Amino acid sequence: MVVVVMADNASGNGGGKRQPSRPSRRSLLKTASVGAAGLTAGCLGGLSGGDSGVNKITIGGLSPLSGPYSISGERQKIAMEMAVDHAIEAGDTTAEVELLMADTESTPSAAQANAQQHLDDGADFIAGNISSAVAMALGELAQRRDVIFMGGAGDLTITSEKCMSNTFILSDGAVQQTNAALGHALRNDMGSSVFEITVDYSWGESIRGYNKETLIPEHNAEYAGNVFTPLGTSDFSQSLTEAKESGADIINITQYGGDQIRALSQADEFGLMDGDTIITVPSTTVAFAQQVGMDTFSYENLYGGVAYSWKLDTPENNSFVSDFKERSGGKIPLSYTPAYYCGLRMMLRTIEETGSTDSATLRGELEGKSIYPQIWNQGERIRECDHRATAPTMTIQGLPPAEADVENGDIFDIVSVPEQLEQYMRPCEETGCTMS
Closest to other proteins by CB, 84 or 286: 286
Q: Residue 167: what are its φ and ψ, rounded to 5°?
A: -100, 130
Contact segment (CB under 8 A) with other proteins among 68-76, 167-175, 375-383, 388-396 equals 68-76
Count of residues engaged in binding other proteins, rule: CB under 8 A: 39
Query: Hey, which residues between 75 and 134 contact other proteins (CB under 8 A)?
Result: none
**Cα distances (angstroms) measured from residue 335 to each of 258, 281, 381:** 15, 13, 17
Q: Residue 225: what are its φ and ψ, rounded to 5°?
A: 135, 175
Q: How far is the CB of 27 from other proteins (least distance, A)?
A: 35
Closest to other proteins by CB, 142 or 240: 240
Closest to other proteins by CB, 189 or 274: 274
Cis peptide before 392 (omega within 30 of 0): no
Q: How far is the CB of 291 from other proteins (least distance, A)?
A: 5
Closest to other proteins by CB, 165 or 266: 266
Query: Hey, which residues between 206 and 265 contact other proteins (CB under 8 A)?
Result: 225-230, 232, 234-235, 237-239, 241-242, 245, 258, 261-262, 265
Q: How far is the CB of 233 from other proteins (least distance, A)?
A: 9
Closest to other proteins by CB, 239 or 337: 239
Q: How far is the CB of 145 from other proteins (least distance, A)?
A: 27
Q: How far is the CB of 295 from other proteins (least distance, A)?
A: 5
As a whole number of angstroms, the distance between CA 105 and CA 391 comes to 26
Choosing from 270, 316, 422, 432, the residue that interacts with other proteins (CB under 8 A) is 270
Choosing from 6, 8, 46, 66, the residue that interacts with other proteins (CB under 8 A) is 66
Q: How far is the CB of 258 from other proteins (least distance, A)?
A: 5
Q: How far is the CB of 122 from other proteins (least distance, A)?
A: 28
Torsion sign over Cα 29, 35, 40, 42: positive
Contact segment (CB under 8 A) with other proteins among 2-10, 268-276, 304-312, 362-370 equals 268-276
Sites of contact with other proteins (CB under 8 A): 65-68, 70-71, 74, 200-201, 205, 225-230, 232, 234-235, 237-239, 241-242, 245, 258, 261-262, 265-266, 268-271, 291-293, 295-296
